[in-house]
Chains A and B, each alone.
Chain A
Amino acid sequence: MLHLPGAPVNLARLGARSGCPISLALLAALVAPLSAHAQSPRKIIDQVDRLMRGEASIARFTMDIRTENWDRSLMLRAWSLGTEHALIRVETPQKEAGTATLRANQEVWNYLPRVDRTIKVPSSMMMGSWMGSHFTNDDLVKESRLVEDYEIEIAFEGERDGADVWEFVLVPLPEAPVVWGKIRYEVRKADLMPTWARYYDESDELIRTMTFSEVRLMGSRLVPTVVTLESADKPGETTVVRYHELDFDVDLDEDYFSLRNLRRER
């Protein structure tokens, strides 16, 4: 599923094949030849969406979280299958190693090695922070079907900062179960890499900005390897995701994403 490159809303994807960078990768690899001139933005995305399904990935990335009160850095490993399944495990810091989050069957579970328990994250906590980052649990679980939930239009087309770009504006369809009032998205025409995404609430106020950078070949695909998330109401606070390894050529099936596997440390 995918939505515009960069399903920024979806953490699972951040580390996953279906993750934002990856969608981008796909966009680049598969869509570019279609030539966007001939296609509506919606169509391009839809096409990529279908291509994305069922693919698996394994990633290793760091998450650097900077807040007013503390800074911390997590090394994480993530497995994903399509958009339905994801498993993320903390590797360092040592104190939290083994702490893991599983997303399967529309539910989010956490495994806490310290107490050796798995707990289901209740729906009331979906907007809560994931591991202290600026991502929410909802980011993790939400299948942001941008194509299905949003009306997508080109708001700008032309040169910006020396690059030929599109700026898409995504407005949710009336009945769409989404939390955003609007999303703005900028994509580079040359390689179909996203540069940023901005998320607004219903009163058109900017809530957060996601920036994509350091486009590199990883796992034989071109992806932005750094994703920076900033909350508009907490200036100076950021969560930076940096990919170190990304592998699309993996064999995972749904059984892998089980509570039993969630508990298995490493």
Chain B
Amino acid sequence: MDDRWIWWSLAWRNLWRNRRRTFITASALAFGYLASVTMIGLWSGMLTEMIETGTNLVTGQLQIHAPDYYPERSMYTTLGGRDGIDVDELVRIARETPGIVAASPRVYGGGLVSSGSETVAGMFVGVDPDREVEVTRLLETPAEGRAPRAGEREILIGRDMADLLDVELGAEVVLVAPASDGSLGNDLYRVSGIFATGMAGLDRSFGILPIRSLQELMAMPEDRIHEVAAAVEDPFAAPALGDSLAAALSARGLGYPVLPRPWTVFRAELAEYASLAGAVNGIVVGIVFVMAVFGVANTMLLGTFERRREFAVIRALGTRPGSVALTVVYEGLILGILALAAGALISWPVLYWLHNYPPDLSNMFGDFTMSGTVVRPVLRAEYSLDGPIVSGIALLITSILSALYPAYRAVKILPADALADI
């Protein structure tokens, strides 16, 4: 046998000298791996849930505006400026960008909503009902009634606004908004639905209309819109997708500039929270495996002491101290690889279960709001490459680290002393 392999072979055999001990040690590492992978999975599941609920209700994960639309959000700062744009073309190009799932045009306005003697300030969003449902949950299942239909003078308002105005489903409300020609746009709209998101700001002041109706109210032509909102496959890819979309648009020679705005910009607090969560993952992995290091080192130290004479003999026969150390480290590494295989085997079904059949703790806790986002307490794990890879590397490093001290002790054994006991 090749000289090099003899130390691996020795390490392998040593592992099976005390099977129960090896099994228990490997189990500790495997469960450490399971814990680490599961926690990362749950964390990123919660994050994804937060980002999704934080963005798929109103904003989408990626928005496209005229470059100077923010921060003023002037009604006049439409995509393509005064000339307007081919809205369908822009939406189509956005949808064709790989990674973007859906896109929908929007117009924004502000004004008053009035019924009887009650009047409240409102923020109006004009949407294309057919496309909007693919991007956000805005129009999905209102608490009462239904979403406004394209071509109708209908509006979907929040529960709080409905209460303030004292209106029911089907009631007529007056909308007043400054129009783009300087006049005071005003018209009657029927309340087609009432939504209740649980977010005070939305429920109190949002009014959702078919895009054309809002454009008419504000004396805006059909080709002038403020925004295209898009849903993306992987929320963390949104910033890059925005850039590639902007590049695609300028490559098409559309002749007007756009500024992509991913959720990491307009929901910066969510993005910060996500990166904080990344750091927390690191700490969790660290803690799990530091604990494992001591356990594994302890067992291996025991094994080393048991074999003191063996080591003494091979040293006496002329083996270099480095080779003795290597065999101990190899032993640790093999143990780590076995544990990793076992860990992966037990982690997979657990992750699969948490991903597909997540325990719903809503009964115990109810929904809660975090950074302005409603979060459901559902323990749903998200698959990711990071979790298993980071945990796996951490496990192998752990197994090597825990072998270092035992290896050092093995090298330090003096053949004369150890053999004297015989």
Which chain A residues have a beta carbon within 8 Å of chain B's beta carbons? 65, 67-72, 95-96, 99, 110, 112, 114-115, 117, 119-122, 124-125, 128-129, 131-132
Contacts and interface: CB of A to CB of B under 8 A. Distances in A.
B178 A119 contact: no
Given A114-B186, A122-B120, A72 B176 contact: no
Given A117-B114, A119-B114, A119-B176, A112 B182 contact: no
B182 A70 contact: yes
B182 A65 contact: yes
Contacts of A69: 76, 180, 182
A110 B176 contact: yes
Given A121-B112, A121-B119, A122-B112, A115 B178 contact: no
Contacts, number: 58
19 contacts: A67-B182, A72-B182, A72-B183, A110-B184, A114-B186, A115-B174, A115-B186, A115-B188, A117-B114, A119-B114, A119-B119, A120-B118, A120-B119, A121-B119, A122-B112, A124-B121, A125-B121, A129-B178, A132-B183
B182 A120 contact: no
B181 interface: yes
Nearest to A66: B182
A68 B68 CA distance: 15
B184 A112 contact: yes
B146 to A, nearest CB: 24
A238 to B, nearest CB: 13
Contacts of B117: 120
A70 B168 CA distance: 38
Contacts of B130: none
A99 B112 CA distance: 16
Contacts of B183: 72, 95-96, 132
B174 A112 contact: yes
A131 B177 CA distance: 10
Which of A119, A122, A125 has the most chain B CB atoms closer than 10 A to its own CB? A119
Contacts of A72: 181-183
B187 interface: yes
Interface of B: 76, 112, 114, 117-121, 174, 176, 178, 180-184, 186-188
Contacts of A131: 184
Nearest to A69: B76
A132 B218 CA distance: 12
Give me the 9 closest cross-chain CB pairs, A-B, nearest first.
A119-B114, A132-B182, A112-B186, A70-B182, A72-B182, A124-B121, A117-B174, A69-B76, A119-B119
Contacts of A68: 76
A67 B178 CA distance: 13
Given A119-B114, A119-B176, A99 B119 contact: no
Contacts of A70: 180-182
A44 B183 CA distance: 40
A68 B81 CA distance: 13
B178 A132 contact: yes
Nearest to B110: A128
Contacts of A67: 182
Given A72-B182, A72-B183, A129-B178, 6 more contacts: A65-B182, A68-B76, A114-B187, A121-B112, A125-B112, A132-B178
B147 to A, nearest CB: 23
Contacts of A114: 186-187
Contact of A96 (B76, B174, B184): B184
Contact of B187 (A110, A115, A119, A132): A115
B119 A122 contact: yes
